Amino acid sequence: MSTPTSPQTDPSILLIDGHSMAYRAYHALPPEKFSTATGQTTNAVFGFVSMLLTALDAEAPTHIVVAFDRGRPQFRLDQHPGYKAGRAKTPPDFHGQVELIEDVLAALRIPVVGLEAVEADDVLATLARLAEEAGVEARIASGDKDAFQLVRPGVTVLYPRKGMTDLVRMTPEAVEEKYGVTPAQYRGHAALVGEKADNLPGVPGVGPKTAAKWLTTYGDLDGILENADDIKGKAGENLRAHVDDVARNYRLNRLLDDVELPLGIADAVRREPDREALGTLFDQLEFAVLGRRVEAVLGAGEGTDVAAAEVPEPVRVDSGSLRHELDAVRATDWVAVATDAAYVLGQGTVDHLALAAGDRVSLIDLTDLDAPATDALSAFLTDHPRLVAHDAKPQLKALWDAGFTGAHADWDTQLAGYLIEPDKRSHDLGDLASTHLGGALPDAPDDAPAADVAARAWAIAQLRPVLAEQLDAHGATGIMEQIEVPVLDILARMETRGIAVDRDRLDALGGEFREQADASAQAAYAAIGHEVNLGSPKQLQEVLFDELDMPKTKKTKTGYTTDAAALADLFARTEHPFLQHLLAHRDRTKLSQTVVGLEKTLADDGRIHTTYLQTVAATGRLSSKDPNLQNIPVRTEAGRRIREVFVPGAGADALLTADYSQIEMRIMAHLSGDPSLISAFLAGEDLHAFVGAQVFGVQTADVTPEMRAKVKAMSYGLVYGLSAYGLAQQLAIGVDEARGLMDGYFARFGAVRDYLSTVVEEARSRGYTETMDGRRRYLPALQSDRRQMREMAERAALNAPIQGSAADIMKTAMIRVDGAMREADLGSRALLQVHDEIIVELMPDEHEAVTDIVRREMAGAASLTVPLDVNVGIGSSWQDAAH
DNA sequence: TAGGGAGCGA
DNA sequence: ACGTCGCTCCCTAC
């Protein structure tokens, strides 16, 4: 498609009637199918944006403006106070969507015009005239038929049909075809027929056909009115009786093409979108598919493809020239490294490696290097103190696999992007280049994939100083260098090592769960007399609510929930055995699936190698995938049996688990400075019993298990921004009782309440929250005037400093533990991290030393006003090591 | 193939 | 409307 900045031989302007198109979208798309997690309806936004993309794609305009109605149409109201009266009130969820559309347009850098007292179509009519005078083709996208009067050579109206992406091109010929009148006659046509939506009645009994016939006979409306007396029949009679109405309609439906505008055609030149803002916005709107369409339509910075234009031709390096090349880049400050590392069948491969420093880019074909050159490169990757990569972790693993065992990274542009914008879903190099370099990466030519490696290295080299400066501005340089980079290396080693699994035991367990699941399914079928897919919520709803006529549960988007809590509740009411078997089946299939997932990822070396993601959790936590080892069951007896299959591997003789005790509550005590909470931790008492005693006004010894459970739920809930309603829901108690509990809590721990409200207010005024180590999370939604979004952001603001500080502490602990074990020359290594717990594989004779190290280094990872207690256990399996 | 429902963990 | 941060599975509609 055409590029916004390149000169065009055929300039054209796309003029969009914002309100009419948004309104059409609102009614064209079912709102229930377009709503975000926060409950925001987005059907109008979605429809508008897809229409916009379609039009941009099809018309490739060089200029664009969107006009919105604001205030009231003064000129028409003056003449006809009833103008647009009686129109259905705009639905409440429409207005907010117009704001969102304006947000999208701002991110796309599309100029928006909204004038008090002037309707959008008058603005468009004026712009169409200006365009014509400037020799610019105009395309008007409008759902308002009045626009048809503007059609002429050089001015086309795009009128939406049914779906939003089907735009009919109304040229002069198309208008004649459809209405039997010329565009110039269209106003008269509309005046005769009338417009219900605008409360402008026409001549009774005169429809499009008659109006067209009269207009062709008499030329225009004046001609008709002059000859009104000659027109026969009922229609003629009606016309004579309604001449005033028709004249009024004609005056009112004229679009003004001479309103004063704040911009001209030259100001409407298309500009590069703000991709960063657009990404954030589309994330919020949950427009994943549309986001990709934007890229397809707008191109990833096509036309300003700085990277493509400027990336220097790489120097091809061979064994003979390698040393010289390494010396050349060694003399520079930072050196960017990129590879084509990939994993195939659990084995890392890497064929090409590119280095970039300043404007010099060199490309090395690793498969072509002789042994001395390989050694030289290996030494370089080991010793150079300023290597920067993008998403270094998988590349390091591949390089280690390929024999470059000392390869390391000192900086990572992906981590930098993450620290700057932790809420973003992905941090592709291409995205960073678009955002910070003003142009996208060139596509890799199919015939020369290695050229892409060179371009990536070059982009990384350009990005490092830019991102380093931003990191500084965000106060995140320390976190990058002291925490994230060292952790990246440790994670790479943990992943490479993996954790050993007793395969036979895992298989046996899977069979056992499968059998139990099948038995439960059979029992469930028997209870209702037929088979049904127990995994289908839809079919379950039919059974429960239609067939068995049970009371309806809480609504979901597509029906009524069949989740475990609802099923348990239904069982309490109906005691229908089907429910019990269904719940048991759910339970067992879940466990069976977990086992299958583990079996699938169990590598030939008898170990499972998860992948930790360091740049996805907005709070600073890690996540784990393929498989996720951070959600292995632990709460039920059967679930814990899965933990028994994780065992020490060859050479090791035990596993050690070490976890922080109530780290989030301790951080809460520290950050709030609440004296009661602090003294509870200092006294080393059972926290929940202590809090229970305070809240219920009894001795600690008299706190019942029920009281303890309630207080525990509340304490943790507070960290997440729990409401009285939510607490009531969870504890199955009344909202009043829940509120009483919370009041009692805050009466005793007042500093906690103060802290929580301060956190939110500070975040609101500064724009971000901060962990103890200064890791920020930006929450612009705190300013939102949409309550639901704002409250969600407020809860995130409550939680982020606490969850994030815990994450920082754990990362620091991992670095300290790893360092201490190496320092002591121990062979034991950490294998897994589960947020507040690490799992270490113990070598013989190292149990005591590692236990000491882990205790000391974890407890010492932060200094709080309360102690950081660490529980340690050793055993023959993950389960056995639990304490 | 993408999104929803469900469920596991901290 | 009503508790944060994640990942994975299956089903279903497209």
DSSP category for residue A299: -
Chain A span 6-35 residues with beta carbon within 7 Å of strand C = none
CA to C1' distance (Å), from A730 to C10: 27
Give the CA-trace dihedral at A543, A547, A549, A554, to 10 degrees: 30
Nucleotide lying nearest to A601, CA to C1' measure:
C8
Chain A 587..646 CB hits on strand C (< 7 A): 593, 596-597, 600, 613, 616-619, 621, 623-628, 630-631
- With tokens 């096509």, the residue in question is A302
Degrees (nearest 5) of the Cα angle A396, A468, A806? 70
**Contact, A753 vs A746, CB < 8 A?**
yes
Sheet holding A360-365, edge to edge: A315-317, A360-365, A352-357, A335-339, A387-389, A411-412
Given pLDDT bands bounded at 50, 70 and 90, which one contains residue A301? very low
Q: Residues 821-880 of chain A: which lie with beta carbon within 7 Å of strand C?
A: none
The residue-averaged pLDDT of A234-257 equals 82
A394 vs A39: which has the higher pLDDT: A394
Per-residue model confidence (pLDDT) at position A346: 66
Using the C1' atom of nucleotide C5, identify the protein residue whose alpha carbon is closest. Answer: A617
Task: Tell if A792 CB is < 7 Å from nucleic strand C.
Answer: yes
Give the number of other CB atoms < 10 A from CB of residue A799: 19
Å separating the CA of residue A700 from the C1' of nucleotide B9: 30
Whether residue A306 is predicted with pLDDT greater than 80 in this model: the reply is: no
For the ranges A332-336, A481-485, A553-557, which has the lowest average pLDDT?
A553-557
Phi, psi of A879 (to 5 degrees): -65, -45
Can you give the pLDDT at residue A338? 97
Pairing outcome for strands A194-195 and A166-170: unpaired
Contact A21, A51 (CB under 8 A): yes
pLDDT grade for A163, boundaries at 50, 70 and 90: low
Q: Is A41 exposed, middle or buried (0-12, 13-18, 19+ CB in 10 A)?
A: buried
User: Do A315-474 and A503-601 show the same overall fold?
Assistant: no
Identify which of A292, A601, A274 has the alpha carbon closest to the alpha carbon of residue A425: A292
Burial A866-875 (b: 16+ CB within 10 A, else e): bebbbebbbb
Q: For strand C, which nucleotides have at least one atom less than 7 Å from a protein CB? A: 1-13
Residue A806, nucleotide of least CA–C1' distance: B10
Structure tokens at A451: 């050229």
User: What local confidence, expressed as pLDDT, does residue A307 receive?
Assistant: 46
Nucleotide with C1' nearest the A567 CA: B6
Confidence label for A207 from pLDDT (cuts 50, 70 and 90): confident
Question: Which nucleotide is the nearest neighbour of A796, by CA and C1'?
Answer: C4
Closest of A100, A119, A122 to residue A25, by C-alpha: A100
Nearest to A766 by CA among A426, A432, A417, A475: A475
CA A795 / C1′ C3 distance in Å: 8
Q: State both tokens at A397.
A: 């693993």
Q: Which nucleotides of B are covered by protein (CB under 7 A)?
A: 2-10
C-alpha distances (whole Å) from A103 to each of A33, A110, A284 are: 21, 10, 12
Asked whether the beta carbons of A622 and A836 are under 8 A apart, the reply is: no
Task: Measure CA to C1' and name the residue nearest B2.
Answer: A289
Buried residues in A45-78 as b, exposed as e (16+ CB within 10 A):
bbbbbbbbbbbbebbbbbbbbbbbbeeebebbee
A41 touches strand C (CB under 7 A): no
Residues A34-62 have a mean pLDDT of 85
Nearest nucleic acid nucleotide to A535, CA to C1' distance: C10
Are A411 and A387 in contact by the 8 Å Cβ rule? The answer is yes
**Residue A611, helix vs strand vs coil:** strand
In angstroms, how far is B5 C1' from A521 CA?
A: 19
* pLDDT of res. A877: 96
Integer distance in angstroms from CA A179 to C1' C13? 39
CATH number for domain A503-601, candidates 1.20.1060.10, 3.40.50.620, 1.10.760.10, 2.40.110.10: 1.20.1060.10
Is residue A716 within 8 Å of residue A666, measured between CB atoms?
no
Class of domain A663-801: mainly alpha
Band the pLDDT of A787: cuts 50, 70, 90.
Answer: confident
Q: What is the pLDDT of residue A74?
A: 64
Mean residue pLDDT of chain A comes to 89
Report the nearest residue to nucleotide B10, CA vs C1'.
A835
C11 C1' to A425 CA distance, Å: 26
As given in the structure block, the two tokens for residue A803 are 């969850």
Considering only CA atoms, name the residue closest to the C1' of nucleotide C9: A593
Taking residues A712-738, what's their average pLDDT?
90
N residues, chain A: 883
Which residues of chain A (511-570) touch nucleic strand C at CB < 7 A? 533, 535-536, 538-539
Instruction: Kindly state the tokens that stand for A469.
Output: 């400066």
Please say if the pLDDT value at position A872 is more than 70. yes
Chain-centre distance for alpha carbon A672: 31
Q: Which residues contact A629 (CB under 8 A, 6 or more apart)?
A: A499, A608, A610, A832, A834
Q: State which residue has its Cα closest to the C1' atom of B5.
A: A537
Superfamily of domain A315-474: Ribonuclease H-like superfamily/Ribonuclease H (3.30.420.10)
CA A114 – CA A111 distance, rounded (Å): 10
Q: Is the pLDDT of residue A2 over 50?
A: no
Q: What is the per-residue pLDDT across A347-400, written as a single tens digit (0 to 9) for each?
A: 788 999 999 998 899 999 999 999 999 999 999 999 999 999 999 999 999 999
Tokens 């003004």 found at: A256
Mean pLDDT, residues A802-814: 97
Q: For residue A273, which of A439, A402, A500, A128 has the smallest C-alpha distance? A: A439
Cβ atoms within 10 Å of A765's Cβ, excluding its own: 9
Handedness of CA A815, A816, A817, A820 (dihedral sign): positive
CA of A39 to C1' of B7 (A): 22
Closest nucleotide C1' to the C-alpha of A794:
C4
Q: How far apart are CA A267 and CA A273, in angstroms?
A: 15
Closest-approach nucleotide to residue A625, Cα vs C1': C7
Residue–nucleotide distance: A30 CA to C12 C1' (Å): 18
More confident residue, A3 or A814: A814
More confident position, A658 or A8? A658
Q: What is the model's pLDDT at position A84?
A: 62
Does the domain at A12-298 match CATH 3.40.50.1010? Answer given as: yes
CA of A733 to C1' of B6 (A): 24
SS3 A142: coil
A95-134 pLDDT, tens per residue?
A: 788 889 999 999 999 999 998 878 899 999 999 999 999 9
Q: Is A77 left (phi over 0), alpha (psi -120 to 50) or beta?
A: alpha
**From CA A749, how far away is CA A741, in angstroms rounded?**
12
Q: CA–C1' span, A566 to C10, in Å?
A: 19
The number of beta carbons lying within 10 Å of the beta carbon of residue A653 is 15
Q: Which residues on neighbouring strands pair with residue A338, listed in sequence order? A: A354
φ and ψ at residue A388, rounded to 5 degrees? -125, 135
The CA–CA distances, whole Å, from A536 to A86, A242, A383, A528, A540 equal: 46, 62, 57, 16, 6
Among A631, A632, A613, A630, CA closest to A622:
A613
**Does the pLDDT at position A87 exceed 70?**
no
pLDDT at A648 over 90: yes
pLDDT digits (tens, 9 = 90+) for A138-153: 999 998 899 999 999 9
Helix (H, G, I), strand (E, B) or coil at A701: helix
How many Å does it take to go from CA A333 to C1' B8? Answer: 47
**Please, what is the angle between helix A18-28 and helix A120-133, to 10°?**
120
Which one-letter amino acid corresponds to residue A641?
R
A286 vs A34: CA distance, rounded Å: 9
Spatial distance from the CA of A461 to the C1' of C14 (Å) = 43
Q: Which of residues 708-727 of A touch strand C (CB under 7 A)?
A: 713, 716-717, 719-723, 725-726
- Measure CA to C1' and name the residue nearest B6: A563
Q: Are A43 and A25 in contact (CB under 8 A)?
A: yes
Protein A647 CA to nucleic acid B6 C1', in Å? 30
Which residue lies nearest C1, CA-to-C1' measured? A788
Which nucleotide, over all strands, has the C1' atom closest to the CA of A633?
B8
- Residue corresponding to tokens 């169409």: A128
Contact A265/A130 with Cβ under 8 angstroms?
Answer: yes
pLDDT the model gives residue A244: 79
Residue A85's pLDDT is 60
Closest nucleotide to A555: CA versus each C1': B5
d(CA A843, CA A829): 9
Q: Using alpha carbons, list the distances in angstroms from residue A144 to A102, A147, A253, A657.
A: 20, 6, 11, 68
pLDDT at A403 over 90: yes
Q: How distant is C1' of B6 from CA of A563, in Å?
A: 7
Q: Does the pLDDT of residue A232 top 50, yes or no?
A: yes
What's the pLDDT at A302? Answer: 42
Nearest nucleotide by C1' from A636 CA?
A: B8
Q: Are A199 and A73 in contact (CB under 8 A)?
A: no
Residues whose CB falls within 8 Å of the CB of residue A416, separated by 6 or more in sequence, listed in order: A463, A467, A468, A470, A471, A480
Residue closest to C10 C1′ by Cα: A535
Exposed (0-12), middle (13-18) or buried (19+): which is A664, by Cβ within 10 Å?
Answer: buried
Closest residue, by C-alpha, to the C1' of C6: A623
Using the CA of A721, give the nucleotide whose C1' is nearest.
Answer: C3
Residue A82's pLDDT is what?
Answer: 67
Instruction: Give CA angle at A713 (A657, A560), nearest 5°.
Output: 105
Tell me the CA–C1' distance in angstroms for A293 and B2. Answer: 15
Q: What's the pLDDT score for residue A837?
A: 96
Minimum-distance nucleotide, CA of A582 to C1':
B6
Q: CA A664, C1' C13: Å apart?
A: 42
Question: Which tokens belong to A180?
Answer: 């039997």
Helix (H, G, I), strand (E, B) or coil at A324: helix
CA of A276 to C1' of C13 (A): 32
CA of A620 to C1' of C5 (A): 9
In this complex, the answer to whether residue A746 has its CB under 7 A from any atom of chain C, a nucleic strand, is no
- At a 7 A CB cut-off, the residues bordering strand B are A 286, 288-289, 537, 556-559, 561-565, 567, 586-587, 590, 630-636, 639, 659, 834-837
Say which range, A327-331, A343-347, A367-371, A615-619, has the weakest mean pLDDT: A343-347
- Which helix H or strand E contains A106, and what residues bound it? helix A92-107
Q: Which CA-bearing residue is nearest the C1' of C4? A: A720
Distance CA A812, CA A77 (A): 68
Of A437-441, A482-486, A686-690, the range with the highest mean pLDDT is A482-486
pLDDT tier at A258, thresholds 50, 70, 90: very high
Residue A770, H or E segment: strand A768-770
Q: Are A577 and A389 in contact (CB under 8 A)?
A: no
Residue A77 has pLDDT above 90, yes or no: no
DSSP assigned state of A7? -
Q: What are the boundaries of each domain within chain A?
A: 12-298, 315-474, 503-601, 663-801
Nearest C-alpha neighbor of A853 from the set A872, A835, A834 = A872
Q: How many degrees, rounded to 5, is the angle at CA A135 between CA A133 and CA A140?
A: 85
The confidence score (pLDDT) of residue A468 equals: 96
Element (H, E) at A194: strand A194-195
